[in-house]
């Protein structure tokens, strides 16, 4: 029985494991990836342990792509299609509109630094810092932001405190209770704290992606926030993720691990539902393949849905991947072609569609208007 790396309790249940090719949350594949996924019956967290233990750090330092092309995916929220980053960034900047003229800002896991740069432009008298471990982020340069190339550790900011702290996309990748306590230790009273996470409710991928080493129900994560003195002022639906705009109150922090054993059954049931949905998608793929025997098959989207599907199928049979953003090769040399090139192709093809449910109608209509026969796998 593995010890939970979030709350350090040993009351855990093994759920899944991988030892070779693993799917990452950006739809890429990592090889020689050993990992085990477990559910903690104490804190309610689904956590992953790695073999060797530094395998994930190596991935984020050397392999992780922080470019906008990969990270700023298109999302559909309330029927509107937009870049995920613009939604999240605007939500934070709007929340910061009434800030005083001077203060201190810190962005944790800043990626390419765009959000920090936007904040610095809007608040020119603030001292702005940003930290990220990726090799790509080491090239960030902007005169109004001090970039630090490293993993976040509150010890790096000993004796310092901040009025705005941003941690987007990181709380699924580091022990959330430890990270939240670290943020609380450097936050000023009434600091604005913006957190973005993937919850178990909005991640059908949870059983099959391996760089999200911590996943949890939304109510569990809000409990983590509250235990560290963070109260949610505003919740933003960002499609695949949830953003929480919080205020910090030192008096509310309880200073110990939050426990949610009552959520374990709900977490396990939802996790198993996600596995069942992927079995359905896999079966729909095989049935659609049989119906279209002898035809050219294209998958739409070189992203996470098709990456997980390919990994589950083991030996998938298709000819192309159509994508409106990415180019090059997707899986074992399969060519990625643009939608315009697919339209111009003289080869008739059937497009298999596997995507987030909120995007299906939009994509299906677009493909059918281009004259494609579409097979929806959901």
Tell whether the model's pLDDT for residue 148 goes beyond 90.
yes
Which residues, including other chains, have CB under 8 Å from residue 358's CB and lie 6 or more apart? 75, 76, 77, 239
Looking at residue 76, its pLDDT comes to: 47
In this structure, the strands spanning 296-300 and 320-322 are parallel
Looking at residue 81, its pLDDT comes to: 53
Residue 39 to residue 28: CA distance in whole angstroms: 25
pLDDT tens sequence across 191-226: 999 999 999 998 999 999 999 999 999 999 999 999
Residue 149 to residue 355: CA distance in whole angstroms: 35
Comparing 68-265 with 292-376, is the CATH topology the same? yes
Looking at residue 44, its pLDDT comes to: 93
In this structure, the strands spanning 104-108 and 127-132 are parallel
Give the pLDDT band of residue 158 (cuts 50, 70, 90): very high
Give the pLDDT band of residue 255 (cuts 50, 70, 90): low
Mean pLDDT value of segment 270-275: 97
Mean pLDDT value of segment 92-118: 94
Residue 40 to residue 7: CA distance in whole angstroms: 8
Q: What percent of the chain has pLDDT over 70?
A: 91
Mean pLDDT value of segment 118-141: 86
- Alpha-carbon distance values, 175 to 79, 84, 97, 182, 274 (Å): 34, 24, 31, 11, 23
From the centroid of its chain, how far is CA 243?
Answer: 12
Give the pLDDT band of residue 7 (cuts 50, 70, 90): very high
Residue 186 to residue 356: CA distance in whole angstroms: 37
Looking at residue 334, its pLDDT comes to: 85
Tell whether the model's pLDDT for residue 5 goes beyond 50.
yes
Residue 377 to residue 300: CA distance in whole angstroms: 11
Q: Between these two residues, 296 and 141, which has the higher pLDDT value?
A: 296
Looking at residue 239, its pLDDT comes to: 82
Which residues, including other chains, have CB under 8 Å from residue 258's CB and lie 6 or more apart? 43, 177, 223, 224, 226, 227
Of residues 26, 28, 90, the one with CA closest to residue 329: 28
Q: At what angle are helices 264-291 and 304-313 packed, to 10 degrees?
A: 80
Q: Which two tokens stand for residue 209?
A: 């992606």
Tell whether the model's pLDDT for residue 80 goes beyond 60.
no
Report domain extents, the chain. 12-59, 68-265, 292-376
Q: Which two tokens stand for residue 90?
A: 């605007």
Tell whether the model's pLDDT for residue 79 goes beyond 60.
no
CB-based contact 268:276 (threshold 8 Å):
no
Q: What number of residues does the chain have?
A: 378
Cα-based torsion angle of the residue sequence 124, 191, 239, 131 in order, rounded to the nearest 10 degrees: 60
Looking at residue 75, its pLDDT comes to: 47
Beta bridge pairs of residue 193: 165, 246
Give the pLDDT band of residue 347 (cuts 50, 70, 90): confident
Assign domain 68-265 to its CATH architecture. 3-Layer(aba) Sandwich (3.40)
**Which regions of 261-348 does DSSP assign to beta strands (E)?**
296-300, 320-322, 328-329, 335-337
Q: Between these two residues, 175 and 138, which has the higher pLDDT value?
A: 175
Q: Between these two residues, 38 and 302, which has the higher pLDDT value?
A: 38
Of residues 291, 333, 284, the one with CA closest to residue 305: 284
292-376, which class in CATH?
A: alpha beta
Mean pLDDT value of segment 157-164: 96
In this structure, the strands spanning 242-248 and 214-215 are unpaired
Tell whether the model's pLDDT for residue 72 goes beyond 90.
no
Residue 189 — φ and ψ, nearest 5°? -55, 135
Lowest pLDDT segment from 161-175, 181-195, 316-330:
316-330
Sign of CA dihedral 306, 307, 313, 317: positive
For 216, what's the count of Cα atoms within 13 Å in the CB-facing half-sphere? 31
Query: Tokens 């605007």 belong to which residue?
Result: 90
Which residues, including other chains, have CB under 8 Å from residue 202's CB and lie 6 or more apart? 240, 241, 242
Give the pLDDT band of residue 245 (cuts 50, 70, 90): very high
In this structure, the strands spanning 349-353 and 296-300 are parallel
List own/partner pairs for 231-239 with CB under 8 A and 24 or more apart: 233/95, 234/91, 234/95, 236/87, 236/88, 236/91, 237/77, 237/78, 238/75, 238/77, 238/84, 238/87, 238/88, 238/196, 239/75, 239/76, 239/77, 239/84, 239/87, 239/356, 239/358
Q: Between these two residues, 117 and 84, which has the higher pLDDT value?
A: 117
Q: Between these two residues, 332 and 366, which has the higher pLDDT value?
A: 366
Sign of CA dihedral 168, 230, 153, 173: negative
Q: Which two tokens stand for residue 72?
A: 């700023």
Mean pLDDT of the chain: 89
């Amino acid at each position: 029985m593995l010890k939970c790396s979030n709350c350090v309790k040993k009351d855990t249940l093994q759920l899944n494991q991988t030892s070779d090719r693993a799917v990452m949350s950006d739809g890429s594949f990592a090889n020689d990836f050993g990992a085990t996924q477990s559910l903690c019956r104490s804190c309610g967290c689904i956590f992953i342990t790695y073999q060797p233990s530094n395998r994930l750090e190596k991935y984020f330092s050397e392999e992780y792509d922080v470019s906008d092309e990969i990270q700023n995916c298109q999302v559909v929220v309330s029927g509107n299609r937009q870049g995920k980053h613009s939604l999240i960034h605007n939500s934070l900047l709007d929340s910061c509109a009434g800030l005083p003229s001077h203060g201190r800002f810190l962005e944790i896991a800043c990626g390419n630094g765009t959000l920090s740069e936007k904040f610095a432009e809007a608040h020119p008298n603030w001292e702005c810092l940003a930290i990220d471990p990726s090799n790509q982020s080491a090239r960030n340069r902007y005169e109004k932001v001090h970039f630090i190339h490293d993993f976040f550790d509150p010890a790096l900011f000993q004796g310092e405190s901040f009025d705005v702290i941003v941690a987007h996309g990181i709380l699924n990748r580091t022990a959330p209770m430890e990270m939240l306590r670290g943020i609380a230790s450097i936050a000023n009273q009434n600091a604005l704290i913006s957190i973005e996470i993937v919850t178990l409710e909005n991640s059908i991928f949870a059983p099959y992606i391996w760089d999200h080493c911590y996943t949890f129900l939304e109510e569990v994560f809000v409990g983590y926030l509250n235990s560290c003195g963070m109260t949610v002022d505003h919740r933003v639906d960002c499609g695949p993720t949830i953003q929480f705009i919080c205020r910090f109150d030192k008096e509310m922090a309880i200073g110990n691990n939050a426990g949610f054993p009552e959520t374990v059954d709900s977490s396990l049931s939802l996790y198993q539902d996600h596995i069942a949905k992927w079995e359905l998608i896999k079966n729909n793929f095989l049935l659609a393949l049989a119906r279209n025997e002898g035809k050219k098959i294209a998958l739409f989207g070189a992203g996470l849905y098709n990456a997980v599907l390919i990994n589950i199928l083991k030996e998938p049979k298709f000819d192309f991947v159509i994508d409106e953003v990415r180019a090059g090769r997707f899986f074992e040399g399969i060519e990625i072609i643009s939608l315009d090139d697919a339209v111009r192709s003289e080869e008739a093809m059937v497009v298999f569609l596997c995507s987030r449910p909120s995007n299906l109608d939009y994509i299906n209509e677009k493909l059918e208007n281009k004259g494609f026969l579409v097979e929806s796998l959901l």
